[in-house]
Amino acid sequence: MAYKVHVVGAGTSGLIAARDIASAGIETRVYDQKRRLGYPPRASGIVSIKGLETLGIPYKQAITNTLYGANVHVGDSSMRIMAKKPQAHVLDRERLNRLCYEQAASKGAEVITGTNIDADRLDAMHAGGIIIGADGAVSGVAKHFGMGGITKYTLTYKAEFEVAPNDTKSVDLFFDNAVAPEFFAWLCPNSEHVVEAGIGIGPGHGNSRAAFERFLKMKYVAGVLNGAARLDGYASMIPMQTARRVVDAKKRVLLVGDAAGQVKPTTGGGIVFGGGAAMLAARTVVRHEREGASLEEYRMLFNKGYGTDLKLHALVSCIYSRLGAGHLEFVMNTLKTLGAEGFLSAYGDMDRPGLMLKRFFLRRAAE
Ligand SMILES: Cc1cc2nc3c(=O)[nH]c(=O)nc-3n(C[C@H](O)[C@H](O)[C@H](O)COP(=O)(O)OP(=O)(O)OC[C@H]3O[C@@H](n4cnc5c(N)ncnc54)[C@H](O)[C@@H]3O)c2cc1C
């Protein structure tokens, strides 16, 4: 069979794109270098419920815990943001990948695992169809077709610990440029028996594993982990900017997910934005094949759907990375005085700061 669309990478973004294109009856093939998809679990799985609901994945079978809020720690101060309703699920990433795989396959996409796509194979695919680069943070597709340009990454390290969390409903976030420069560290109750500790640091601050070991020595962190057995740990990276181009209509190449840097720079969350962008890329490809629409539509749809929020996330992340610990604590205490705990508990939005600001101004206008 001659495949019209080749998706490189069977992570969540690639599989969501493949699902939607194959659903329209277009021959679609997905390739992944891994034999066991979604493994090893180098990333965490905290995803907003609202965001998950937009992706059309049967994600419920992958839930390991549900979160209502966060404890934000800055220096000696902390702020507790707790909503009345559940805000996010913690997902088993390998199981989530499996569910996306089954869904894409059920719609007719062919998924080939254990196959590395190199430059020669990309050229061969290019001659016969559309390529979707969904090959992660260091995208070979973006590089090969001159669309990359992502130079900013956060280096991460995370590990799970076999211990019952004190509080299963909230994640602890540690903002301190001395501990996790330019990003943050976290303790997440992955389930009733497992706590995940993780850290991200900007480039030029040494290695993430060393920063992680220092983080574990913090009094609060040592107290929560309480000498528990450590399971496997993994280093990885998160792109901190979008690719120079997300589509090249002439070459018929589109980038989605981490390959396109579709990640919130404040939190490193990429499942909702990458998956949402993959749906837009699929919609564009279907319109291109059926009605001859330009593939450039993808860029416009992406900017319309995510541009403002990504810019707001980038702005917050940029301001934060420039603040020293003392300034950060001052900012947080000032926000607390202004009622930020109550406001964020009621109106906080993990994905869409634009919507949150809108709600803030609407509330002010109504007062
Ligand atoms: C420590 C950490 C914590 C995170 N926490 C969260 C979180 O809590 N919530 C959240 O939403 N996001 C989180 N993220 C981000 C999230 O994991 C990514 O945004 C998301 O996985 C991107 O999905 P993707 O499908 O674009 O890429 P990936 O999941 O990276 O998938 C890319 C696939 O491409 C394959 N591939 C690569 N090169 C080739 C090749 N040459 N040939 C064939 N196949 C290839 C890979 O094997 C891989 O399967 C975290 C990331 C990290 C590192």
How far does the centroid of ligand 1 lie from the alpha carbon of residue 236, in Å? 9
45: phi then psi, degrees, rounded to nearest 5:
-135, 45
DSSP string, 165-233: -S-SSEEEEE--TTTSTTS-EEEEE-SSSEEEEEEEE-TTS--HHHHHHHHHTSHHHHHHHTTPPEEEE
Assess whether the C-beta atom of 42 lies below 6 angstroms from ligand 1: yes
How many angstroms separate the CA atoms of 243 and 143, rounded?
A: 10
* pLDDT the model gives residue 329: 79
Amino acid making up residue 3: Y
Give nearest CA residue, ligand 1 atom 2.
43
Assess whether the C-beta atom of 158 lies below 6 angstroms from ligand 1: yes
Give nearest CA residue, ligand 1 atom 37.
135
- Is residue 36 within 8 A of residue 60, CB to CB? The reply is no
* pLDDT the model gives residue 76: 83
**Dihedral sign, Cα of residue 74, residue 79, residue 82, residue 87:** negative
Buried b (16+ CB within 10 A) or exposed e, 197-224: bbbbbbeeeeebeebbeebeebeebeeb
Query: Domains plus CATH for the chain?
Result: 5-41+92-150+240-316 (3.50.50.60)
* pLDDT the model gives residue 356: 61
Map tokens 């028996």 to a residue. 193
Assess whether the C-beta atom of 51 lies below 6 angstroms from ligand 1: no
Map tokens 């983080």 to a residue. 215
Peptide bond into 40 cis (omega under 30): yes
How far does the centroid of ligand 1 lie from the alpha carbon of residue 272, in Å? 12
Map tokens 């109106």 to a residue. 347
Assess whether the C-beta atom of 47 lies below 6 angstroms from ligand 1: yes
Assess whether the C-beta atom of 45 lies below 6 angstroms from ligand 1: yes
Other CB atoms within 10 A of residue 47 CB: 28
- Is residue 323 within 8 A of residue 274, CB to CB? The reply is no
Buried b (16+ CB within 10 A) or exposed e, 301-337: bbeeebeebbebbbeebeebeeeeeeebbebbeeebe
Q: Whose CA is closest to 26, among 147, 124, 107, 117?
A: 107
Other CB atoms within 10 A of residue 298 CB: 27
How far does the centroid of ligand 1 lie from the alpha carbon of residue 136, in Å? 5
Residue 299 to residues 227, 256, 334: CA-CA distances in angstroms? 49, 11, 39
How far does the centroid of ligand 1 lie from the alpha carbon of residue 193, in Å? 25
How many angstroms separate the CA atoms of 115 and 9, rounded?
A: 10
How many angstroms separate the CA atoms of 359 and 364, rounded?
A: 9
The pLDDT averaged over each successive group of 10 residues in the chain (367 residues) is 86 98 97 96 95 96 96 89 93 98 98 97 90 97 91 95 96 91 95 97 94 96 96 95 93 97 91 97 97 97 92 80 75 78 72 64 57
DSSP string, 349-362: -SS-HHHHHHHHHH
Residue 132 is classified by DSSP as E
Residue 98 to residues 18, 91, 202, 232: CA-CA distances in angstroms? 14, 12, 31, 21
* pLDDT the model gives residue 325: 65
- Indicate which atom in ligand 1 lies nearest the CA of residue 200: 1
How far does the centroid of ligand 1 lie from the alpha carbon of residue 97, in Å? 10
Pocket test for ligand 1, best of 15, 16, 33, 95 (most atoms within 8 A of CB): 33
Report strand pairing: 153-162 vs 194-201: antiparallel
How many angstroms separate the CA atoms of 71 and 6, rounded?
A: 43
- Indicate which atom in ligand 1 lies nearest the CA of residue 116: 42
Assess whether the C-beta atom of 46 lies below 6 angstroms from ligand 1: yes
Q: Whose CA is closest to 305, among 344, 345, 260?
A: 260
* pLDDT the model gives residue 135: 97
* β-sheet bridge partners, residue 91: 63
How many angstroms separate the CA atoms of 134 and 142, rounded?
A: 9
